[in-house]
Structure 1
Amino acid sequence: MPGSGSWSGSWSGSGSGHRALVRQGQRVLVRRRPTPRPAPGEIRIATQIAGVCGTDLQMLRGLRDDPSPVLGHEGVALVSAVGMGVGDEFAPGTPVVVNPTHPTDPSFLLGHNVDGLWQEQTLIPAHAVRDGQVIPLPQAPESELAALLEPLAVVRYALATLAAFRPRTLLVYGDGTVGHLAVRAARHWLGAEVRTVLVHHTGQGLEWSAARSARADLLLAQGPDRTRTLRAVSAEGPTAVLLATPRDATRACLEEAVTFAGEDTTVDVLGGLPPLATTPLLPGIDLNAVRAANCAGLPDPARWVHARTGTGGQVRLIGHRGVGNSHLRDAAAELCRAPDRYRDLVTHCVGIEEAAPLLSRLAQDRNRVFDGRRLVKLAVRLAPDPRPTPTVPSHTARAHALPSHTAPSHTTPSHTTTEN
């Protein structure tokens, strides 16, 4: 069968239905659903590993009104069946990733208004297949690393956009999955000389980062050291700011970044925003319009705006939603090229039966410690693991990544959040 590595041979047919993680209010339950037979042009895929995103948690908590009962837009699957007219590149057993965001058709948003990957079998509609939303992978990331593919593609999109401004420093707000991925990928995609700074939500998050062999050059939380460092960093040359924050923290972090912005600062508004978001520090700027100006890789090059600040300075603003297919391919290649750089970010991996109560708990409790370990990325395994049983449990975090160039700076908690 097509594909390579541990993914080959795990796909299966429809049988008597399939299991799915179905949300009911703030609870997630395992339910058996009928497995559809693909119509002409459709593809059915068997999820191998799915990731849990901060957006998923917002939907579980009722903070968004997306209608899909089955969430999940991150992960890798195998083609399990195809309808008539589907190309040979989608032969059963082929590893694929689905681009969850259609660049021009809002009716396809995987795991939001179309049933997502938190199920053993998912049907991809013909128009999404026709428009290239299903991407064959010549080489798929190993096992649990597949949960990082889409968030790393988000980082690829951000860094590819920011690279045009040749930053000396990458300042990342948010110590969730995307924030950690950004500082680890920065030297690969921005250049070996870039300096990385990661602003944390809590002291516990900073402690977790400090214990990693792959970490930002500077680790910050709230306090005098943070203020001094942000002012110094902004004065030392071109600075790129990445807001890897959920919607309830993005505006505050943007305001802080603008306050300390130097003469050559570009801010990427990646994090979500509440409706009609504005700030007096950026008069006349519709922040949601900035974020929506670039979607799923279009246009290329990306749009950005020059904004004057309320204090008389100026800053470049850029934003984006979704990812392009090229970003997904680049992310898959990077996870295959340097798996040890990212492996320890998948701190927990559970099966579908374990996932239901854990997701229900996450929907009601923002505590990020499970089984005595800090949760960064949760992966859900929806297919049997084809590898031999490891000596160390697969959910145990391991740090095998590249060392940082400088020692971290330790301070106290900040106000950003971690669910990215």
Structure 2
Amino acid sequence: MTRTHRAVVRDGTGIAVRHRPTRPPGPGELLLGPEVAGLCGTDVQMLRGMRDDPAEVIGHEGIATVVAAGPGVAPELAAGTKVVVNPTHPTDPAFLLGHNVGGLLQERTWIPASAVDAGLVLPLTAVPEPDLAALLEPLAVVRYALSALRRFRPRTLVVFGAGTVGRLAVRAARRWLAEAERIVLVRRTTDDLPPEPVHAVLEPGADLAAEAAPGPVAALIATPRDATVGCLEAAIAAAAGHELAVDLVGGLPPAAGTPVLPGADLVALRAANRAGTPDPPEHAALSTTTGDRVHLFGHRGVGNDHLRIAADELVRAPERYRDLVTHGTDLDGAARIMRELATGRGRDIDGRRLVKLAVRISAPQPRHHEEN
């Protein structure tokens, strides 16, 4: 009988749980059993056809257990080890977990030798409680962003976007960006989560300048790619007369630019920092059309240390982040939710706004055991 495992598959026929072949790992490879996987904003964009990433099985956030290790894999990645996968290869664009290779929304995920050799599978010494595992990778993104912004000693932090990364950022800033005496959250949607610990919550277009403390301003932009440039322009306007540092965490449309920063290649600036390298990230010191100074950078992916620190933080203070996991389900429920997200424009699921979905993944049935 062919050994198979269950996976949430998106293909030309839609999104459904299907059986996929399971093969043992070859030399240098790993076979993982995902335990909990998250669904993020880029995943939703993929479901809605806004991105052309080819992976049929998505999901790059979560934790897993090593099921089998191929010949030559280091002993610290032996079967039974709890791990997190860094989804972004620092030098090989052919490995981007859940984007161009099969992701975590399945009972078994195969990791190629190139990713194992690059150290992208990290044994976990601090293992967050199950549902919080869906927050590990986005919290690592926040760690990288806040540590980079801290170099500029901002007195005010403005966070654009109230999705997972934005919410994590305002909660983690008190620990990782203590210099910012004022935190402002700019969001266009509301939900039933408790009020965030911020100086002000504003709608887009509100007077941001009135909320800034004297001194440098930092902006963390964690919005969908079609809103990133507009938020950058809002941050520049709000910080007029202040030194400004901006991290473009959110994606960008192709050839994105703004007349406020003539000649700035925003896409190239974001692409200069990949998988947490370099740390601190490269940035450009630019001047606006009004002569104000802007330190601008972005990044795609995080480093291994960011993931380890995020895991430690989730274990140390789970109560700070627990309510951000608004929905939890299994693979079958994930397929249903993904179909709803693919065909709609909003984020309301089962009568509540979705911030973070944690998909709890069970092991294959006994008749589908892997080979030893």
TM-score range, shorter chain: over 0.9
* Residue 311 (structure 1) aligned to one of 264, 276, 290: 290
Determine the structure 2 residue equivalent to 1:58. Answer: 45
Structure 2 unaligned residues grouped into runs of 5+: 364-372
Secondary structure (helix, strand or coil) at the match of 1:165 reads: coil
Aligned to 2:31: 44
Unaligned residue ranges in structure 1 (runs of 5+): 1-13, 385-420
CA separation of 1:30 and 1:326: change in aligned 2, threshold 3 A: same
Counting aligned pairs with the same residue, the percent is: 59
Once the two structures are TM-superposed, the CA of residue 222 in structure 1 deviates from its matched residue by 3.8
1:105 aligned counterpart, secondary structure:
coil
Q: Name the SS for the 2:151 alignment partner.
A: helix
Give SS of 1:357's match.
helix
1:219 aligns with 2:198: no
CA distance in 1, matches of 2:154, 2:48: 37
CA–CA distance in structure 2, aligned partners of residues 383 and 140 of structure 1: 18
Residue in structure 1 matched with residue 340 of structure 2 by the alignment: 361
Q: Is 2:233 aligned against 1:251?
A: no
Which residue of structure 2 aligns with residue 69 of structure 1? 56
Moved more, 295-304 or 316-325: 295-304
Spell out structure 1 runs of 4+ moving beyond 3 A. Answer: none
Are 2:246 and 1:267 equivalent residues in the alignment? yes
> What displacement does 1:91 show?
1.8
Q: Which amino acid aligns with 2:247?
A: D
Shift of 1:235: 5.5
Question: 1:163-197, CA deviations, whole angstroms, 9 ceiling, x for partnerless residues?
Answer: 11111111100000000000000011112763211
CA distance in 1, matches of 2:14, 2:264: 38
Partner amino acid, structure 2, of 1:240: A
Secondary structure in 1 aligned to 2:162?
coil
AA in 2 matched with 1:152:
L
Q: Which of the numbers 182, 188, 197 marks the counterpart of 1:195? A: 182
Q: Aligned residue pairs: how many? A: 362
| 1:291–1:319 contact (8 Å) kept in structure 2 | yes
Q: Which moved more, 1:71-80 or 1:309-318?
A: 309-318
Cα separation, 2, equivalents of 1:176 and 1:157: 17
Cα distance in 2 for partners of 1:193, 1:290 equals 25
Going from structure 1 to structure 2, the CA distance change for 1:58 and 1:121 (only over 3 Å counts) comes to: same
Please list the CA deviations of residues 274-310 of structure 1 after superposition, one character each: whole Å capped at 9, or x if unmatched: 0001110110101101111111111233211111112
Change in Cα spacing, 1:253 to 1:25, as seen in structure 2 (3 Å) is farther
Distance 2:75 2:267 in 1: 41
Give SS of 2:321's match. Answer: helix
Q: What is the TM-score with the length of structure 1 in the denominator?
A: 0.83
Q: Which residue of 1 aligns with 2:312?
A: 333
| 2:17 alignment partner, SS class | strand
2:326 aligned partner: 347
CA distance in 1, matches of 2:2, 2:157: 49
1:250-283 deviations in Å (ceiling 9; x for gaps): 0111111111224211011111010001110110
CA distance in 2, matches of 1:153, 1:278: 27
Distance in 1 (alpha carbons) for counterparts of 2:294 and 2:27: 50
Counterpart residue identity of residue 203, structure 2 = A
The answer to whether the 8 A contact 2:57-2:104 is kept is: yes
